[in-house]
Each structure stands twice: as C-alpha cells, then as structure tokens.
Amino acid sequence: MQIANSFIRQGGVDPALLRSAPTVTLDLAARRRSRQRLTLDNGQQLGLAIPRGAVLRDGDILVTGENQHIVVRAARENVLRVTATSAMALTRAAYHLGNRHVLLEVGDGYLQLEYDKVLADMLEQLGGVALAQVMAPFEPDVGAYGGGHRHGHDESFDEDYALAQSAFHAHSHDHDHDHDHDHDHDHDHDHHGHSHHPAAEKGHLKP
C-alpha cells in the first residue's frame, strides 16, 4: 500500500498531469484527519500521513512516496444553507453562529454549516434569513490554525492540551515571581479599625 505523506493545494499542479489521476472522495471529518487509511474511488487502498493540523480541501492533490498524484474531492454532506434578504441579516447570522464556535463556510451570498435543528431554530428567530437543508460539499473556513475548533476526541488534542498546560504553569510562575517583588517592603496596618485599598498603600490613589 502506498503512503501519501504530502499534498499540494489546488492549482499547484498542471491539470494535464491530473487527467488520469485517481480520486478520493472525503467528507469534512476525513479531510481533517492527518493519519488514516483511505479507499480511493477506484477501490485501491492508500495510507495518509500528512502534517498534523492540515485540512484537505476539494481539488487538493495528495502525493505518495512514489510520486503518484491523487485528487481530493469533497463529499456531499447534510448541511444547512443560510441566505438572507440583506447583507446585514447575513452578517448578523454569521455573528451569532460565530459566538457558538460553529464551523462555518462563508460563501458569496450564503453561509453553510453542518445541519443542526437547534441552530436552525435560532436562525429562524433572528429573522431576515432563509434556510435550506441540502446535500452539498462542506468546506468551512478553518482559520489560521488549520484545525478549526477542536474537541477532546480530536487526534491532536492531547498535544495541544499539554502545550496549554505548560504555558499556563510558566505564566503562573512568572506571576508569582512578580507578586513577590510587589510586596518587598515593610508595612504595618491595623486591619480591624479601618479598610483600605491596596493601590492607596502604594500612592496610586490620591485622597
């Protein structure tokens, strides 16, 4: 079985070289996984081992160690397509969906997201939008980090969590260090007879 360990974005290969190239049709979940076994549309098996965090898009080209090219096709999925009577209404819908960290495809005059009845009800209550449940390729904007919104079951979650924990402890250590220096002076207060503001002790507040 061949292994595809790199890929080229759509348009990066002369179309003439792809006329007889095999294809593989993948839904969004599969296009977000960097390590997996794939079945090409011609029935052949292919191993995928591309850089973690990469998200494949329709028209991208997988490249194997033997320099074979395989064209990625985005599968049709059950999605909710949102259109609106005005740009303001569509922008408002995008804002509310963004607040819910929804994977969202932003198209020319429409939005698309994985079908969810709760979100569909919310959008209807906003008004000014038209909703349609359709089968279509789903290619959300995954942002600058490549992986989009992650959950505990994603393959890179453990790595990201460890990195976040490390950063938190480093920040906590620096904060404690600064905190010690802020209090490196002698003072004596009667805490029972009056109240005071910490900033006032340092002369930060004027009477």
pLDDT digits (tens, 9 = 90+) for 105-140: 999 999 999 999 999 999 999 999 999 999 999 999
Global pTM reads 0.66
State the distance between the two ends of the chain, measured CA to CA, in whole angstroms: 79
* Residue 191, number of CB atoms within 10 A of its CB: 7
Q: Is residue 81 domain-shared with residue 133, that is, in the same domain?
A: yes
Asked whether residue 111 is assigned to any structural domain, the reply reads yes
Among the ranges given (84-93, 136-145, 153-162), the one the predictor scored with the smallest mean pLDDT: 153-162
Element (H, E) at 181: helix 157-182
Q: Is residue 57 domain-shared with residue 95, that is, in the same domain?
A: no
Q: Is residue 96 domain-shared with residue 121, that is, in the same domain?
A: yes
Domain boundary among 112, 137, 162: 137
Burial class (CB in 10 A: 0-12, 13-18, 19+), 33: middle
Asked whether residue 174 is assigned to any structural domain, the reply reads no
Contact between residue 54 and residue 5 where contact means Cβ atoms under 8 Å apart: no
Q: Is residue 70 domain-shared with residue 82, that is, in the same domain?
A: no
Domain boundary among 86, 119, 137: 137
Q: Is residue 31 domain-shared with residue 92, that is, in the same domain?
A: no
Asked whether residue 153 is assigned to any structural domain, the reply reads no
Report how many domains make up the chain: 2
Task: Name the strands in the sheet holding 35-39, side by side, starting at the edge strand that comes first in the sequence.
Answer: 23-26, 69-74, 61-64, 2-8, 45-49, 35-39
pLDDT score at 63: 97
Q: Is residue 59 domain-shared with residue 81, that is, in the same domain?
A: no
Q: What percent of the chain has pLDDT over 70?
A: 69
Asked whether residue 175 is assigned to any structural domain, the reply reads no
Asked whether residue 132 is assigned to any structural domain, the reply reads yes
| CATH number for the domain harbouring residue 111 | 3.30.70.790
Confidence label for 143 from pLDDT (cuts 50, 70 and 90):
low
Reported as half-sphere exposure (CB side, CA atoms, 13 A), residue 26 has a value of 28
Range of the domain at 43: 2-74
| CATH number for the domain harbouring residue 46 | 2.60.260.20
